[in-house]
Amino acid sequence: MITQALEGDEAALLVAQLFDHYSDAIFAYLFRLVGNRDVAEELAQETFLRAHSARQRLSQALNQRAWLYRVATNAAFDHLRRGRRFAWLPWSRVDELHAPQPDVAEAANQRDALEKAFQALPIDYRAPLLLHSYDGLSVREVADALGISEGAVKMRLRRAREMFRRSYNPEKQNGGLP
């Protein structure tokens, strides 16, 4: 059936290529934004589904990577606004004990200092820092991905770095000026 999806549809093939190249990176970015593997996967899927549905336009986009990150960012913010950083279990139809453990266990497992430092950043600073320093996007690409100006990207990066420096390595915090 994949053959049907791709047959005669170069744009669909492009989406498939983008999926192969970027699905892990997009997932990792989303995971660090929303802090939950299942949600990140859902959002990653949504990102690529949107890419697929907009594939004709996407194939003409100058920077498909930035396009994907923008869609992913919007999907993440859209999710976060619901305030469901943790998918709390409802008292389910069967028995709450039968459901998997809540996602917070996964959050608790993020023991290494880097992940904690990421999570300590407010989302609108975390996103540009991840895109720039982890995913290697240019200022222009980050601006495109986040829908903000290039000047705002630089400013947020500086503040994000200051916050990251404090949270990642507290003993180095001197409270003084850079």
Q: Which of 57, 147, 170, 173 binds other proteins (CB under 8 A)?
A: 147
Q: Which of 1, 60, 171, 174 binds other proteins (CB under 8 A)?
A: 1
Confirm or reject binding of residue 170 to other proteins (CB under 8 A). Answer: no
Which among 38, 42, 32 is positioned nearest to 126, based on CA atoms? 32
In whole angstroms, the minimum distance from the beta carbon of 128 to other proteins comes to 9
The CB-of-111 to other proteins minimum distance in angstroms stands at 4
Which of 60, 90, 171, 174 binds other proteins (CB under 8 A)? It is 90
Rounded to whole angstroms, the Cα distance separating 124 from 163 reads 12
Residue from 34, 58, 66, 157 touching other proteins (CB under 8 A): that is 157
166 binding other proteins? (CB under 8 A) = no
Q: Binding to other proteins by residue 60, rule CB under 8 A? A: no
66 neighbors 168 (Cβ within 8 angstroms): no
Asked if 13 touches other proteins (CB under 8 A), the answer is yes
Dihedrals phi, psi of 94, to nearest 5 degrees: -95, -65
Q: How many CB atoms lie within 10 A of CB 123?
A: 14
56, 57, 140, 170: which one binds other proteins (CB under 8 A): 140
* Long-range contacts formed by 153-159: CB under 8 A, 24+ apart: 153/128, 156/124, 156/125, 156/128, 156/129, 157/128, 157/129, 157/132, 159/125
| Interface with other proteins, residue 67, by CB under 8 A | no
* Least separation in angstroms between CB 82 and other proteins: 7
When binding is defined by CB under 8 A, the residue of 33, 34, 36, 50 that contacts other proteins is 50
Q: Return the residue of 59, 107, 163, 166 that touches other proteins, per CB under 8 A.
A: 107
Distances (CA, A) of 123 to 30, 45, 130: 11, 21, 10
Nearest Cα neighbor of 51 from 30, 32, 66 is 66
